[in-house]
Amino acid sequence: MDDDGLRCGCAGATVWFTGLPGSGKTAVARALAGTLRARRHRVELLDGDARHATLPTGPARDDPGRYAERTGLAAEVLARNGFLTLVSATAPGAASRDAVRRRHEASGTPYVEVHLDAPQSVCAERRSAREATGPADGATAGDAAYEPPAHPDLRLATHRMSVAESAAAVYALLADRGVVRSRCDETSNRLLLRDVDADPGAGQRTY
């Protein structure tokens, strides 16, 4: 098996996508994961909205705080072992997200919090469009009290940005911090931004 992480200079890190249900966490995380894998990085995607997600099961799923912290533990272990771990989970409580960050800081593992900041009305409209598939599986119910992060590493207005543009912004941050090699930037951003020209709202960025 090729050591893709070493081949592309990936040191391992956790990228946590937080935001209201329907803000685009899963879509952006999957877009970023696809490009990172194409660049031969080792990637693990932990998706809180997936029906068969590789996240903690059992009683913890009924407690958003415990669920976030257990997911954070799994992410930290993966990242510490060289994986770019992309977590797509609302984690409504700021305290639980802060605990996850502290765990990463204690082990010296890079951690990036990305807030997908879309209005509640937009998120509700997106959720209603997928009601036929049933409610999201996990401890991130839409009616949970969401506490947006005060100082995320990156804040994206996903109601104004395309999925590709949002993923490209996260990739650029990872490159700036040395998590991915800058020599991969030009090719990776071309892949991520290939649909921006067709998106009339693509130029309206908010960081």
Q: Tell me the pLDDT of the chain averaged across its residues.
A: 80
Can you say whether residue 57 is alpha, beta or left, with left for phi > 0 and alpha for psi between -120 and 50 degrees? Answer: beta
Residue 187's pLDDT band (boundaries 50, 70, 90)? low
d(Cα 110, Cα 114) in Å, to the nearest integer?
13
Name the DSSP letter for residue 164: H
Distance CA 70, CA 150 (A): 22
Provide the pLDDT for residue 96. Answer: 95
> In the prediction, which pLDDT does 18 show?
97
Which of 185, 135, 164, 207 has its CA nearest to residue 24? 164
75-79, 118-122, 202-206: which has the minimum mean pLDDT?
A: 202-206
Phi then psi for 46, rounded to 5 degrees?
A: -105, 105
Query: Percentage of the chain surpassing pLDDT 90?
Result: 60
Mean pLDDT within 172-193: 70
Residue type, 115: H
Superfamily of chain region 13-133+147-177: P-loop containing nucleotide triphosphate hydrolases (3.40.50.300)
pTM score over 0.75: yes
Q: How confident is the model at residue 90 (pLDDT cuts 50, 70, 90)?
A: very high
pLDDT above 60 (res 186): no
**Residue 185 corresponds to which tokens in the numbers above?**
């930037």
Nearest Cα residue to 109 out of 174, 16, 14, 44: 14
User: φ, ψ for residue 204 (rounded to 5)?
Assistant: -90, 80
Model confidence pLDDT, tens digit, residues 101-141: 999 999 999 999 999 999 999 999 888 877 655 554 444 44
- Residue among 12, 14, 16, 13 nearest 113 (CA): 16
Q: Which pLDDT score, from 0 to 100, does residue 105 have?
A: 97
